[in-house]
Amino acid sequence: MPVPGRTRRPDRDPRVCGAGSAKALALVGAMVVFANATAQTVTVRPSVDARLTFTDNSSASGEKKADWIGEVSPAIVISRDRGRISGNLNARLRNTAHASDSDRNATFVALQGLGQIEAVERTFFVDMGATISRNNRSGLTGRASEDFLGTDSANETRLFSIGPRLHFRLGSETQGVVSYAFRWFDGGGATVRRTVGDWRGQLSNPLAFGRVGWALDYSRTDSSYDDAANNEVSEETARASLLFSVTPQLRLRGIVGHESNDYSVRSGESDDITGMGFDWYPTDRTVVSGATENRIFGRGYNLSVSHRQALSVWNVSFSRDISSSLQTTGSVFDDPAFRSLFDALAGEIPDPFDREAFVRQQLGYPAPGVRDAFVTNNFFLARVLRASVSLRGVRNVLTFALQSSERSRLGSPLVSDPRDDLSSFDTVSTESGTVALSHSLSPLATMNASFVRSRSSGSGPSRAHTNRNLLSVGISTRLGPDTTGGLTYRFQQADGASDFTENVLTANIGMQF
């Protein structure tokens, strides 16, 4: 299959002259200096993309108004996959201009970076990360979260993290890891601001007594909110597991432990953990893993199945656990359609940056950002089902995906924010189905088509729902060794809490240097 997609687009978009901008620019500068100093092991890919878009409903709310929107976005991708310093940085400066409404013009940075420093060989590491993006934070109002026209600064979300990680051994077989991560989380026009200290500790010996082993896990998360009340909440969990290797392909786990938090869960703030789990590898291409536990909130579980064949990739996951925006923001691979197609194209597009850019383009994603940009101040109980399959032919890749999520707020709202769905509702649910086709027209050109049907609903003291249909059809082609271009038509319809229709036509060209 050809690779007409552009190089993966960076994620970074702080407000001009803000504290987030300074941190992000400092990170980019450090990475560029490092790249120049070690050019023999670092890949640096500068590029620039331009696109011209016509929409017959530029605001997607209120009075329907047509507009032309131009965008020029220089970008840089830096990666290093070996050595004492490794990681990747993906950054883009987006500049958008509206022909009919100059007040909506925007210049911002979208960035995504992840790296580590190996300070002591195989022993002591320093982990770093940064994500900045603009996606609609609400599933009930406004544009779809993956819409690249959603450039409102109030939707900007920023996450920075840094922390040490220590690996050690006790004897010849017992291994341990201790880590601490400090995170800054800022989103929604500074309405959501939180700092988090996250401790993790693990000690294990899977074969301490032949087929029988053991493992210990401890975690503690302390969150502080930058608000008038200076709220602070914490969670602490400790587990001990007994491991039994039935066969080389099957391992069973028995789990006991204790947990506590002050999220005001219905069943109390402290309780014991009991459960069991398994890991099964029936073939080299199949992995099945699952666990179920009696938790402070009731029954928790996590089941995942992945299976790869010569011409197909299958993925299913089902989970119920306490979560927060820090655990869900910034990972585009949480979308089953994206993950399935990304895995299916590993042979045709081995470079992960090019592959991610191609899949984003096919599914109609914006260059940076995620599809499920659920941002909230509140901790919540999440029940999530994801399933996908990608079928590959000689000239086609066909992907089907289903996703269902139910998020129930734990405790009272910490901040009143109309953009925070869990500030307005006790429970927010979303179901979506995706069908996507990538068809090779020639060695240089590919036709992409996708259809997404979704429904989001909020329940509690008030109730609301939004149904969405999103259709996208486009052609992308390679115009030269380092130049790509494309033309895309998109139709979007929403009814309920959001009520609008929109037709969009976009022409784009990208150059890599």
- 378-425 confidence digits (pLDDT tens): 889 999 998 988 898 888 889 898 989 999 998 877 666 667 788 889
Round the average pLDDT of the chain to a whole number and report it.
83
Look at residue 7 and tell me if it is in a domain: no
Beta strand 396-409 pairing with 380-392 = antiparallel
Structure tokens at 338: 């994206």
Look at residue 1 and tell me if it is in a domain: no
Residue bearing the bigger pLDDT, 227 or 196: 196
Number of domains in the chain: 1
Query: What CATH number should be reported for the domain holding residue 282?
Result: 2.40.170
Look at residue 118 and tell me if it is in a domain: yes
Look at residue 144 and tell me if it is in a domain: yes
Q: What does pTM read for this prediction?
A: 0.81
Contact present, 141 and 497 (Cβ < 8 Å): yes
Using pLDDT thresholds of 50, 70 and 90, give the confidence band for residue 60. confident
SS3 track for 138-164:
CCCCCCCCCCCCCCCHHHEEEEEEEEE
Each residue of 328-372: pLDDT tens digit?
554 566 666 677 777 777 767 777 767 777 777 666 565 555 555
Look at residue 29 and tell me if it is in a domain: yes
Secondary structure element (H or E) that encloses residue 325, with its range: helix 325-328
Residue span of the structural domain in which 438 resides: 19-512
Look at residue 187 and tell me if it is in a domain: yes
Look at residue 478 and tell me if it is in a domain: yes
Each residue of 165-206: pLDDT tens digit?
999 999 888 999 999 999 888 875 556 678 899 999 999 999
* CA–CA gap between residue 304 and residue 319 (Å, rounded): 8
Each residue of 114-168: pLDDT tens digit?
899 999 999 999 999 888 888 777 778 888 877 888 888 888 888 899 999 999 9
Percent of the chain with pLDDT over 70: 83
Look at residue 444 and tell me if it is in a domain: yes
